[in-house]
Structure 1
Amino acid sequence: MTTKAWRSMQSTVTVLASAALTMILAAGTFPGASAGEAEAKTILKSMSDYMAGQKAISFAYDTNFEVVTKDHQKLLLASSGKVEIGRPDKFRATRSGGFANVETTFDGKTLTLLAKEDNMYAQAEVSGTVDHLIDELRNKYQRPVPGADLLLTNVYDELMRDVVDVKDLGSGVIGGTECDHLAFRAKEVDWQIWIAQGEHPYPCRYVITSTKVDQGPQYSIQISDWKTGTDVVAQDFSFKNATDAKQVDDLKKLVDIDELPDQFAVGGTK
């Protein structure tokens, strides 16, 4: 076959493949996948019930946080960490990335945020459950926990709020684990979740797309090293100032402890 003929065939294959993909996406489904709404809801509810029933949980995670600049360039901010939960009222999480290295500790009465790079910490009196802590961090302190929606005891109700479309996209594999792949559309976001198949239906990946924001930036969290019950080593969740960190009187005085660093401004020019 001549070089010219080979290139012509390559071009034809590319065009046909692109056309086939366009047809699939336009139809709103994928070959071999079921768009069954009832099935998808059942799978999500099973995950929610399983998560709520676990008294001790630990896992590692990786997040990707897309931001869009004023000139429409997408930037991807990556971080990793670990989460440990002892229900109803114990929590510890770490997060490290290019802009932050922070540890969050909660013993049921006191919330502590430790900024490791600056060796500074702040505390606040927050009593109650892990659910209450997540709400306080998100709404009062603007310090959301990575993948917070997945850690609540009423995961199903929280995720299904304002959902207008549901799809079961069949199977996918995340980190070597076979998962059920589900897609949901809400009023302001699209989101997808991959849930491990079998008797431990934990979330393996969760992706949120902001459909009302220019360029549709995404936030994703991927979970690994999932452990529950007796596989989780019991720990003291109280804060130990092992590095002689300096205490400040306000959580807001701790800088660069979020996934979005301080040099970025929402809707601004930084």
Structure 2
Amino acid sequence: MGLIKKMAGLMGVSLMGMLYFTPSLAETPLIEVKAENTLQEMLNYLKDQSSLKFQADVAQDLVFSNGQKIQVGAIVNLKVRRTDKLNIDYQGDRNHVRFYFDGKTFTMEGLTNNVYANFLEPSEVDNINALVRRIGERLNITLPLGEIIATDNDLESIKNRITSGVYVGESRVNGVISHHLAFTQDNLDWQIWIEKGEKPLPRKLVITYKQDPSSPQYSAILSNWNFDPISEEDPIFSFQPADDADKIDFLIIQP
């Protein structure tokens, strides 16, 4: 009986904590100062890097017509040379894809089916920021972690999209002490964990898509950050098709 009372007491404390914590999130106006400052530090730090490499362990919910959710995963390795070169290797449970951009041509290579497609608009796409926007508009393609590698995703543009932002507290991501921030937008909620200290690196990202009744989530744990310079001539940014690869065409969305 004593154990039951003790457990009930602990559950009561836990429940009271939840009841206390939840309204504080809901009642906070727009974005808390500490959340804003922490996010700004991360954006500034990433923007200052001329080259970056990192890995992401990604998990994403797929929603079937009956409402059932199935989680699929991927390991993503990103190499970026600012402002106009990238190589992204996406090895997922169901497909293996690589993305290349050499400053002029964007190429998507499907290693699972041994196919590739090119997208060339040199007059309009000559840097990573323009590429992220343009392939979204014309190809309906979202680059993995595109908002992390772009440099024009500044604080003001983020604030224009969010309806609230709070500083949740400190927690650990793979042993790294990180600031936990949470934001809401009209159609999604997102959380980000930013390393505490001199290197405010994003360590984890979780997105919840509210427009879907099933509220599917996307999460990415970021690691193996490296900012050693990458040569402009590094061949990893230029695509060379295999002799037996098939060239296909992107389906272009007309403006």
Same fold, TM-score > 0.5, yes or no? yes
Give 3-state SS (helix, strand or coil) of 2:131's partner. helix
2:236 paired with 1:240: no
Structure 1, unaligned runs of 5 or more: 30-34, 254-270
The corresponding residue for 1:27 is: 23
Give me the whole-angstrom Cα distance separating, in 2, the residues matched to 1:238 and 1:26: 49
Q: Which amino acid aligns with 1:239?
A: F
2:128 paired with 1:130: yes
Q: Which moved more, 1:88-97 or 1:9-18?
A: 9-18
Shift of 1:9: 4.2
- Indicate which of 126, 139, 142 corresponds to 1:141: 139
- Match runs of 1:45-194 below 5 Å: 45-127=40-122, 128-155=126-153, 156-194=155-193
Give 3-state SS (helix, strand or coil) of 1:216's partner. coil
User: Pairwise CA RMSD of aligned residues?
Assistant: 2.4
Shift of 1:151: 1.7
Contact preservation (8 Å) 1:113, 1:251:
no
Shift of 1:18: 4.9
Give me the whole-angstrom Cα distance separating, in 2, the residues matched to 1:25 and 1:68: 30
Q: Which amino acid aligns with 1:205?
A: K
Shift of the 225–186 alpha-carbon distance from structure 1 to 2, 3 Å rule, reads: same
Contact preservation (8 Å) 1:184, 1:190:
yes
Alignment deviations for residues 48-106 of structure 1 (CA, whole Å, 9 cap, x no partner)? 11111111010011111113333322221211120000011001001011211011111
- Indicate which of 33, 38, 57 corresponds to 1:38: 33
Alignment deviations for residues 200-222 of structure 1 (CA, whole Å, 9 cap, x no partner)? 21211111112232022111121
Give me the whole-angstrom Cα distance separating, in 2, the residues matched to 1:57 and 1:110: 20
Contact preservation (8 Å) 2:115, 2:248:
no
Give me the whole-angstrom Cα distance separating, in 2, the residues matched to 1:245 and 1:9: 70
Contact preservation (8 Å) 1:149, 1:159:
no
Give 3-state SS (helix, strand or coil) of 1:76's partner. strand
Shift of 1:239: 1.0
Shift of 1:233: 7.0
Shift of the 54–126 alpha-carbon distance from structure 1 to 2, 3 Å rule, reads: farther
The corresponding residue for 1:265 is: none
Q: Which amino acid aligns with 1:68?
A: V
Give 3-state SS (helix, strand or coil) of 1:23's partner. helix
Structure 2, unaligned runs of 5 or more: none
Q: Which amino acid aligns with 1:173?
A: R
Give me the whole-angstrom Cα distance separating, in 2, the residues matched to 1:247 and 1:93: 20
Contact preservation (8 Å) 2:57, 2:222:
yes
Normalised TM-score (structure 2): 0.85
Q: Which amino acid aligns with 2:41?
A: S
How many aligned residue pairs are there?
242
Question: Percent same amino acid among aligned pairs?
Answer: 24
Shift of 1:165: 1.1
Normalised TM-score (structure 1): 0.81
The corresponding residue for 1:208 is: 207
Q: Which amino acid aligns with 2:216?
A: P
Give me the whole-angstrom Cα distance separating, in 1, the residues matched to 2:106 and 2:44: 27
Give 3-state SS (helix, strand or coil) of 1:229's partner. coil
Q: Which amino acid aligns with 2:88?
A: A
2:194 paired with 1:198: no
Contact preservation (8 Å) 2:31, 2:164:
no
Give me the whole-angstrom Cα distance separating, in 2, the residues matched to 1:113 and 1:224: 24
Shift of the 246–252 alpha-carbon distance from structure 1 to 2, 3 Å rule, reads: farther
